[in-house]
Amino acid sequence: MPTDTAIPAPARLLKITEVATEVGLTARSIRYYEEIGLLNPAARSEGAYRLYDADDVARLRFIRGLRDDAGFSLAEIGRLLEDEEARTRNRDRFQSTSDPDERRGIVTDALARIDGQVEILRAKEARLRAMIEEAESRRHHLEQHLADLDAGREPGHAPPGASST
Amino acid sequence: MPTDTAIPAPARLLKITEVATEVGLTARSIRYYEEIGLLNPAARSEGAYRLYDADDVARLRFIRGLRDDAGFSLAEIGRLLEDEEARTRNRDRFQSTSDPDERRGIVTDALARIDGQVEILRAKEARLRAMIEEAESRRHHLEQHLADLDAGREPGHAPPGASST
DNA sequence: CATAACGTTAACGTAAACGGGAAGGTTCGT
DNA sequence: ACGAACCTTCCCGTTTACGTTAACGTTATG
């Protein structure tokens, strides 16, 4: 009979280059993000190796998305993400308590933060969409001008945006 | 009887700080963008003052949007926008010819470029949307967990992402 | 238990995107 | 025609976001 059937499976911890390749960042960047307070690894090995859990990996993925896809600076990302101190505290608090009320509070807070993040991302999306629509309006304008030329007509003005792209 | 009723109205040229305030950039940035080949002013005054036309202003606005709203680097913006040499050439070509075929060609090229730009912007928007949806999925996950807590149930696992935001 | 492969901190280097003068020329209103 | 308020071209300084050794300790493997 195995001695450890009751342990919930500690869910493998990754070393820094392992996470780096998995999320598409360099080890240097990840250490830098730690330096500026964007995330602390879940644990350190006996010999001080950084060890990351699945939650850390998700956070790093999110950071990368905010940087590459949303175009935020690391300073903005720091503001957007929860303060890392609080995250570490909450992780510990959540694990160490089984009081439902306390857990409820932690989860409720996390919900509020996500809502704020989604709102900011939506605003960004709206601005991007506005740019796209403007570009398409320029496109239609040019199409119109082309139709004029094809019809042999000659409007007296140069096409706005004809050379501004 | 006025002597200039036939002139098509030259459409006021702006000096650098005028455009800067209008598009929300600094004069320094605009000069820098010129330095790295993002745009050349439509003209220079007798004393070498930079003079910008409406087309330049539109291009600067677009550049600012690409930088702030879409989060592109200036290098990417340079690739995205038409090569500035070609733009200057085309502006002159369009003005100096009245051959419909040549004009058609210029306009057709501009159309193709805009299409490429729109495609890139759409891709960016898609990635942003994916991020938003992922964030909302985390949100729903938390909501579910909260419901479990409220029902007095206790799932054995910590909520994924409960502390990763 | 040796050693290759990987990790650590610390420090310096770098490209991008400007900011901020200095030294001097231009424009414009009166 | 002259002063205030612009503009010009250098040129050096700064911040951000890492890259790159250097010098050294750790871990996995035969």
Pair B118, A133: CB distance under 8 Å: no
Distance, in Å, from the CA atom of A88 to the CA atom of B66, rounded to the nearest integer, reads 36
Q: For residue A2, what are its two tokens?
A: 């195995």
CB contact, 8 Å: B52 with chain A?
no
| CA distance, residue B143 to nearest chain A CA (Å) | 7
**In the predicted model, is pLDDT for residue A164 greater than 70?**
no
pLDDT of residue B7: 55
Q: For residue A53, what are its two tokens?
A: 């859990």
pTM, two decimals, is 0.89
pLDDT of residue B2: 55
CB contact, 8 Å: A3 with chain B?
no
A55-93 confidence digits (pLDDT tens): 999 999 999 999 999 999 999 999 999 877 788 788 888
pLDDT of residue A88: 79
Q: Which residue has the higher pLDDT, A102 or B36?
A: B36
Pair A57, B140: CB distance under 8 Å: no
* Nearest residue of B to residue A9, measured between CA atoms: B157
pLDDT of residue A10: 66
* Nearest residue of B to residue A41, measured between CA atoms: B164
Beta bridge partners of A52: A14
Contact A159 B87 (CB under 8 A): no
Instruction: Out of A106, A135, A158, name the one closest to residue B121 (CB).
Output: A135
pLDDT of residue A161: 54
pLDDT of residue B5: 55
**In the predicted model, is pLDDT for residue A95 greater than 90?**
no
pLDDT of residue A101: 86
CB contact, 8 Å: B55 with chain A?
yes
* Helix ranges (DSSP H) in B69-99: 74-80, 84-96
Distance, in Å, from the CA atom of B52 to the CA atom of B34, rounded to the nearest integer, reads 12
**Residue A18 CA to its chain's centroid (Å):** 19
Distance, in Å, from the CA atom of B135 to the CA atom of B117, rounded to the nearest integer, reads 27
Pair B139, B164: CB distance under 8 Å: no
CB contact, 8 Å: A93 with chain B?
no
Residues found in chain A: 165
Pair A55, A87: CB distance under 8 Å: no
**What is the phi/psi pair of residue A51, to 5°?**
-130, 125
**What is the phi/psi pair of residue B50, to 5°?**
-70, 135
pLDDT of residue A98: 86
Pair B62, A130: CB distance under 8 Å: no
What are the distances in angstroms from CA B67 to CA A69, B62, B83, B155? 13, 9, 17, 45
Contact B104 A132 (CB under 8 A): no
Question: Which strand D nucleotides have any atom less than 7 A from protein CB atoms?
Answer: 6-9, 16-20, 25-27
Pair A11, A53: CB distance under 8 Å: yes
**What is the phi/psi pair of residue B121, to 5°?**
-65, -40
Task: Spell out the per-residue pLDDT of chain B, length 165, in tens.
Answer: 554 556 566 679 999 999 999 999 999 999 999 999 999 999 999 999 999 999 999 999 999 999 999 999 999 999 999 877 788 888 888 888 988 888 999 999 999 999 999 999 999 999 999 999 999 999 999 999 999 998 876 665 555 554 555
pLDDT of residue B161: 54
Q: What percent of chain B has pLDDT over 90?
A: 69
Residues of B in contact with A114 (CB under 8 A): 135, 138-139, 142, 165
Q: CA of B48 vs C1' of C25, distance in Å?
A: 10
Give helix B54-68 / helix B16-23 axis angle, nearest 10°: 40
**Residue B158 CA to its chain's centroid (Å):** 43
CB contact, 8 Å: B71 with chain A?
yes
Q: What percent of chain A has pLDDT over 90?
A: 69
Residue B9: HSE in the Cβ half-sphere, 13 Å Cα cutoff = 5
Residues found in chain B: 165
**In the predicted model, is pLDDT for residue A133 greater than 60?**
yes
Q: How confident is the model at residue A6 (pLDDT cuts 50, 70, 90)?
A: low
